[in-house]
Structure 1
Amino acid sequence: MTNILEALEWLLTADAWSGPGGLWVRSLEHLGYTLIALGISAVIALPLGLAIGHTRKGRGIAIVATGAARALPTLGLLTLVALFTGIGLTAPMVALVVLAAPSVLAGAYAGVESVNQATVDAARAQGMSGWQVLTRVEIPLGLPLILSGLRLAALQIIATATLAAYVGAGGLGRQLFLGLQTYDYSVMLGASLVVILLAILVDAAFGLTQRLLRRVPGLAGPGTAPGTGTRSRRVRANMTAN
């Protein structure tokens, strides 16, 4: 309890937030790392996941691959990459992308698979090409689950990006390691609370975006899109498990 009070007291001081090494700068660095890693993960995993969901091929391989990626210890991977690239941002980015890509991939193919097959067949019967079915039917109707994958990946990155400081990068991990080295547990706990607050804010932003998208015609949310009943709940459960 004393450490919590000391951490809160430290967070309320101007010195904790000001300067090039203050919490404002470190929080912005942390968010920047999150956006970069999430963007790279999306560029790699989203097209692959959409293709798997659309063609219904390769799902088994994707599950095995994402399971293997999730089993990798992030700190060990970061250290291994850092041995070849040196200190800096490269090693943390590689580790964070490997961590986040499985969630993005699973969200993408689960979102497309959740669309009612009858809706897809009706679109094809109207003369739509495979690309048109994907972009005009499957992605819009599966968007809530696709965003859920990105949302989960973002939270994973925020929680793990503190390890970037382990190889000389910035972010809120700097305060954590500084507190560890100096046995200043109030600084460690304070920085941890900021990471938690950052995760809550990002999660709230994704939640608000998903709620707003459900109000847009043609973008169905869970429970409103065709096929979002028992089948979609099962698909979402598989996405989380895999």
Structure 2
Amino acid sequence: MERGPVAHSKPPRRLTWQKLVTVPAILVAILLLLWLYAGNVTLDSIARNALTASLVQTALWQQIKLVAISTFFVLIIAIPLGIALTRRAFRWASPPVMALANIGQATPALGLLALLVIWLGIGQKAALIGIIIYAVLPVLSNTVAGLKAIDPTLLDAARGIGMSRSGTLTRVELPLAVPLILAGVRTALVLNVGTATLATFGGGGGLGDLIAAGIRVQRTPVLVVGAVLTVALALLVDWLASLVEVWLRPRGLED
């Protein structure tokens, strides 16, 4: 009895048009509403001076720099440290290091920033260190969890076919742990956007300057512009991180 041709299922699409379009459409709508609000609300001289194009652009650029620099250092600290804590020689250090990372995030961000300003002085350096300490935990814990969740029989099989420890790490362990690691990175990015607004209290700049100015001078439009731009930036960063997450996820792990 002859069998008919076998129907091969199509591989799942890595990116759908909904993922590509939905968030940008929401962002455009938010920014359009903000533009309409700022253009129709009555501004006095204090609000106009606080919302000049140059000041808003400077605050937004400072916020982007704070997020980008802090995320870079979070990645180069948390991922290698997470890998090291899952190696046999350093597993003993995992509980105290994780406890220290938990303390770093459990500490109120503003209190942590105040302590760093007392130690390092006012400026972006104290703000960046505070943001980094606050965002290390999600990436570190997800890296450790992703590597520990791998089936030991897969590692035994890799070593059985002659792979070195470094080869097993780069070709088996890390690809399998990628989804969890990227989820931690995505969480850290969004955390960084929010925490970076507190940099204003340490002289670090950012969109927090607009929010603090709006509260200080009691001008709602200034506060609204700073808050809405922060939300829009968080949505944009989360969307970009989701695209990178889909792109870097191994095809064999597609849902």
What range is the shorter-chain TM-score in? 0.7 to 0.9
Identify the residue that residue 37 of structure 2 maps to in structure 1.
Answer: 9
Q: What CA distance in whole angstroms lies between the structure 1 residues aligned with 2:145 and 2:39? A: 41
Confirm whether residue 49 of structure 1 aligns to residue 82 of structure 2: yes
How is 1:26-105 mapped onto 2 (pairs within 5 angstroms)? 26-55=59-88, 57=91, 58-105=93-140
Aligned twin of 2:182: 147
TM normalised by structure 1 equals 0.80
SS of 2:86's partner is helix
Contact 1:7–1:187 (Cα < 8 Å) also in 2: no
Post-superposition offset of 1:88: 0.8
How far did residue 129 of structure 1 move? 1.5
The Cα of 1:59 is off from its aligned counterpart by 3.4
Deviation at 1:94, TM superposition (A): 1.3
Any conservation in 2 of the 1:53–1:111 contact (CA below 8 Å)?
no
Return structure 1 stretches of 4+ with deviation > 4 angstroms.
Answer: 5-8
CA contact (8 A) 2:34 2:228 kept: no
Conserved? CA contact 1:151–1:206, under 8 Å: yes
2:212 is aligned to: 177
Distance in 1 (CA, whole Å) between partners of 2:77 and 2:226 is 31
How far the C-alpha of 1:17 sits from its partner, in A, is: 6.5
Which of 170, 176, 196 does residue 161 from structure 1 map onto? 196
Q: Does 1:126 align with 2:161?
A: yes
Q: CA deviation at 1:186?
A: 2.4
SS class of match (1:183): coil
Q: Does structure 2 conserve the Cα–Cα contact (< 8 Å) formed by 1:10 and 1:187? A: no
Indicate if the aligned counterparts of 1:11 and 1:190 stay in contact, CA closer than 8 A: no
Q: Please report the RMSD computed on the Cα atoms of aligned residues, expressed in angstroms.
A: 2.3
Is 1:210 the equivalent of 2:230? no
- The CA distance in 1 between the partners of 2:103 and 2:223, in whole Å, is 32
1:97 and 1:52 map into 2 onto residues whose CA distance is 19
Q: CA offset at residue 60 of structure 1?
A: 2.5
Q: How many angstroms apart in 2 are the aligned matches of 1:47 and 1:138?
A: 13
Give the TM-score of the pair, scaled to structure 2.
0.76
Unaligned runs of 5+ in 1: 224-242
- Is 2:197–2:209's contact at 8 Å kept on the other side of the alignment? yes
What's the offset of the Cα at 1:31? 1.3
Q: Deviations over 1:50-71 (max 9, x none)?
A: 1223448243333322221222
Q: Is the CA contact 2:139–2:181 (under 8 Å) kept in the aligned structure 1? A: yes
| CA 38–184 in structure 1, closer or farther in 2 if over 3 Å, else same | same
* Percent of residue pairs bearing the same amino acid type: 31
Q: What is the Cα deviation at residue 97 of structure 1?
A: 0.9
CA contact (8 A) 1:161 1:171 kept: yes
**In the comparison of the two structures, how many residue pairs are matched?**
213
Supply the distance in 2 between the matched residues of 1:150 and 1:53 (Cα, whole angstroms).
18
